[in-house]
Structure 1
Amino acid sequence: MNSVFFPLSKAIYFLITPSNALIFTALAGLLLLSATRLRRTGIGLAALGTIGLAVGGLAPLSEALLLPLEQRFPAYPTDGAAPAGIIVLGGGIEAGLSEARAQVVVNDAGERPIYLADLARRFPAARLVFSGGSGFIGGGIAEADIVSRQADAIGVPRTRLILENRSRNTHENADFSAALVLPKPGERWLLVTSAWHMPRAVGCFRQAGFTVDAFPVDYRTRGWGDLTRFNGFASDGLLQLDLAVKEWIGLVVYRWAGYTPDWFPAPEPTEGKASR
């Protein structure tokens, strides 16, 4: 099923990404307005697309969608007990650019590899897993391979790294990582990924039988006060809106596909006790 799921998810999301969908709507309206007699329909679609782009880009709509995701799992305490292992999910490194330029090129989720180095220093006895293949249809260099080549630049001892370079999505991150490290009952593992992605990621690891404690990074919101702030640039708001909608759709699709055990995974009571 996953062989079909991966390319299909990419194609569908391209069409329903809010910024894309609103642009297509506005263009369809202009086409109807100029080339057909459906003037009222054309005006309505053009107006809908244009207003949608303005609201989605400037209003705090993206913050309203991101905040429940980012607030779902609390930050890991600074005095938390030493874990047996740490798993960092890919997504923070531009693998193609890094390969072309022979150096580490990070994106908006660059905190993921940054905290890989930080946690490696803080917990010198912990096993270090980086899980990230190529997220492109047709393949490409795996993100884990870039981490292997550039471990010194990132600040991670190469000899400590356990690399999982086959996964193309979060479901595969969890399954392949579990099969690679074979966690023992009672072991404590930290999962490092973006705060807005943590609910779906934790759900996937639970479904794979891998108990993890959340270590969220890469926050896009400051808190509930962001609901009163408007964006200075529409491009920023639309970027965040696309991200938030993708993640909410991902939660629904992953639950439907059986990749997560819950619609909106939350911390388990034992996780909260262990973190205190």
Structure 2
Amino acid sequence: MRLRLMFSAALIAVATLVSGLLGATAAQAAPAGPGSSGSMDFGSTGNDAFGPAGTFLWQNPAGRYIVVLGAKPGTFGQTPAILNQRLHRAAALGRTHPFNRIIVSGGETWWLPVSEAQFMNVGLLQRGIPPHQMVNEGRSRSTVQNAAFTVRMLKAMGADGAVIVTNGFHMKRAMANFRSAAKAQHARLRFVAAYA
């Protein structure tokens, strides 16, 4: 466990250092367009500012979270396309809504000494999200567990809702799992979809 924590801290430090040395910016890592710079885009007119997810987040920045669901990294630690899409969408929301925290949800990878959540931390750092805006749920191994563990965290943090970031093919099941988990835990939470 100690080795895993040391490795994940080193991984984040190296990613941040390499990003800085190569001059990578959030604008280079994320798709171009309104609200895609690495700065805090208060009042941005991009889709994430005033669409259903953006409006929902603006209504209660301290009580509404952005939840991005994980996916298994590739054999050599590469980021799969579906996870890149989720990270791009979550980062765009996070940059536009810097007071809403991002929960990255995903447990152990099959061989890497970091969880999917820790792996996603690096991807969000590369896309301009600061560490203090991220919260890890690193125990889940399925969408049902993503929902159960994340709902427990949201309830403990006094949240009243969350934007769920995942791909279209996965959204219906994810939303059903989150609503079921909230009902089972007697958590009064509202969920809004943000398609990656």
TM-score by length of 1: 0.43
Task: Tell me if structure 2 keeps the 8 A contact 1:95–1:141.
Answer: no
Change (3 A) 1:78 1:212: closer
Q: CA deviation at 1:111?
A: 0.8
Task: Tell me if structure 1 keeps the 8 A contact 2:162–2:190.
Answer: yes
1:129 equivalent in structure 2? 103
Find the aligned partners of 2:74 and 2:139 in 1 and give their Cα distance.
14
Aligned residues: 135
State whether structure 2 residue 93 is matched by structure 1 residue 119.
yes
Find the aligned partners of 1:187 and 1:121 in 2 and give their Cα distance.
21
2:68 equivalent in structure 1? 88
Listed one character per residue, the Cα deviations across residues 81-113 of structure 1 (whole Å, up to 9, x for unaligned) are 42521111112x626533xxxxx6332442101
Pair member with larger Rg: 1
State whether structure 2 residue 143 is matched by structure 1 residue 170.
yes
Secondary structure of the residue aligned to 2:151 is helix
Q: CA deviation at 1:184?
A: 7.5
Q: CA deviation at 1:130?
A: 0.7
Secondary structure of the residue aligned to 2:171 is helix
1:199 equivalent in structure 2? 172
- Give the letter for the 2:68 counterpart: V
1:208 equivalent in structure 2? 181
Find the aligned partners of 1:79 and 1:148 in 2 and give their Cα distance.
22
2:115 equivalent in structure 1? 142
1:107 equivalent in structure 2? 81
Find the aligned partners of 1:179 and 1:154 in 2 and give their Cα distance.
27
Higher helix share: 1
Higher strand share: 2
Task: Tell me if structure 2 keeps the 8 A contact 1:95–1:143.
Answer: no
Percent of residue pairs identical = 27
> Which consecutive residues of structure 2, in runs of 5 or more, have no partner in the other structure?
1-50, 183-188
Find the aligned partners of 1:120 and 1:89 in 2 and give their Cα distance.
14
Change (3 A) 1:139 1:178: farther
- Give the letter for the 1:85 counterpart: Y
Q: CA deviation at 1:175?
A: 0.4
Say which of 118, 126, 135 aligns to 1:153: 126
- Give the letter for the 2:70 counterpart: G
Find the aligned partners of 2:96 and 2:113 in 1 and give their Cα distance.
33
Q: CA deviation at 1:207?
A: 0.7
Q: CA deviation at 1:150?
A: 4.8
Change (3 A) 1:112 1:79: closer
Q: CA deviation at 1:167?
A: 0.7
Find the aligned partners of 1:148 and 1:79 in 2 and give their Cα distance.
22
Q: CA deviation at 1:211?
A: 2.8
Task: Tell me if structure 1 keeps the 8 A contact 2:54–2:93.
Answer: no
Task: Tell me if structure 2 keeps the 8 A contact 1:135–1:169.
Answer: no
Listed one character per residue, the Cα deviations across residues 98-153 of structure 1 (whole Å, up to 9, x for unaligned) are 3xxxxx633244210111111111111112111011364x8863111112345421
- Give the letter for the 1:88 counterpart: V
Q: CA deviation at 1:198?
A: 0.8
> Which consecutive residues of structure 1, in runs of 5 or more, have no partner in the other structure?
1-75, 99-103, 218-276
Task: Tell me if structure 1 keeps the 8 A contact 2:106–2:146.
Answer: yes
RMSD: 2.7
Secondary structure of the residue aligned to 2:95 is helix
TM-score by length of 2: 0.59
